[in-house]
Amino acid sequence: MTTVSASTRRQRPRQPWNWSAATGRILTYAALLTWAFICLFPIYWTISTSFKTAVNVTQGDIIPFIGRFQGDWKGWRSLGLSPDTIFEISTVRDEFFRRFANSMIASVGASLLAVLIGAPAAYGLARFRYKFGPWQNKDISFFFLSQLLLPPVVLAMPFLVLYKELALLDNLLGLILVYTLMVLPIVIWITRDQFETIPIELEQAALVDGCTVWGAFFRIVMPIALPGLVAAFILSVVMCWNEYFFAALLTSTNAKTVPVMVASQTGSQGISWWTMAALSTGAIAPLIFIGVFLERYIVKGLTAGAVK
C-alpha cells in the first residue's frame, strides 16, 4: 500500500476558486432561507399576536418588547392561562382542555385504527395478486389513493344523514370512524411500499420453520416494517389533528375539537385576534413537538424503502 507523505500533500496545488459553484451554493442557501422565513413567519406572527394588546394588533407591530410593542398576556388571560389567572376558576380554560383532549383522542384513536386496518390490507396488496375483472393490484392501490382526491364537501350530506340514523352525531366514536376513513388511503399507500421492500424469502423461511402466514406477518414482517408504520401513524395524527370540516359538521357541543374552537372566535362582534392567536398557539404546539422531536422517525420511515 502506498502512502502519501506530508511534504507531497503540501506540494499539491490549490484548487482554483470555482465562481459558478460558489454562486450556485449561495443562491441555493438564499432560496432555502427565504422559503424558511415564508414558512415560519405565520407561526411567529401567531405566537407574538397572543401576547399583543388591542393597540398592537391594530397597528401591526411585529417585534415584541421593542418600540410600541410592550407585550401583554391578553390572549392567554382571555383563556385563563396567564400567570395571574392560571389558578382562578375559568370556564374557558376548562373548555379549551376538553377540546384539546377531544382532538387528542380522535387523532390518536383514528390513527391507531387506520394502522391496524391498513397494515394487513397493504400486506395483502404487496404479497398477493388479485384480479377483479379488469382490476389488478395496481388499480386497487390507486383506488385507495384516489379517495384523497375526493372533496370532503361531497360526503357532507351522506355522512350527516348516516350519522343521524346511527346516533353518532356529536360523538367522539363517530369522529374517530370518519377520521379513520380519511387517513386510511395514505396509511395503505405508505405501508404497502414498506412491505414490497422486504424480501419474500424471509417469510418463506418462516413458513418452512412452521409459522403460519399470520405468524410470519406478525413475527417477521411487522418488526421490519415498523419504521414505515410509525411514519404512517405520525402523519395520520397530523392530518386528523388539523381536520376542520367533519369536526364542524358532525359535532356541536360534546365532541368539538380545537380547530372548531379556534374558528368560533369569529362572530358578529368581530374577531378576537389575541384569543384566536392563543388558541392557535396551543393547537400547533403538539405539531411543533412532532416536527422537532419526531422528524427523524418520519424521514426514516418514508425513506426506508428508497434503496433496494
pLDDT (tens digit, 9 = 90+) per residue, 161-172? 999 999 999 999
Q: What is the CATH number of the domain that holds 142?
A: 1.10.3720.10
Residue 64 counted as domain residue: no
Identify the pLDDT of residue 215.
Answer: 87
Q: Which residue has the cell 406478525?
A: 218
Residue 97 counted as domain residue: no
Report how far residue 296's alpha carbon sits from residue 7's, in angstroms, rounded to the nearest whole number: 43
Residue 254 counted as domain residue: yes
The domain in which residue 208 lies consists of 112-303
| pLDDT exceeds cutoff 90 at 105 | yes
Residue 54 neighbours by CB distance under 10 Å: 12
| pLDDT exceeds cutoff 90 at 31 | yes
Residue 56 counted as domain residue: no
Strand ranges (E), the chain: 131-132, 135-136, 266-267, 270-271
Residue 291 counted as domain residue: yes
| pLDDT exceeds cutoff 70 at 245 | yes
pLDDT band per the 50, 70, 90 thresholds, residue 1? very low
For range 237-264, the mean pLDDT? 90
Number of structural domains the chain divides into: 1
Residue 276 counted as domain residue: yes
pLDDT (tens digit, 9 = 90+) per residue, 46-96? 888 888 776 777 666 666 555 555 567 777 877 777 766 777 767 778 888
Residue 248 counted as domain residue: yes
Distances (CA, A) of 264 to 219, 260, 272: 48, 6, 10
Residue 101 counted as domain residue: no
Identify the pLDDT of residue 117.
Answer: 93
Does the pTM exceed 0.75?
yes
| pLDDT exceeds cutoff 70 at 205 | yes
For range 272-296, the mean pLDDT? 83
pLDDT band per the 50, 70, 90 thresholds, residue 110? very high
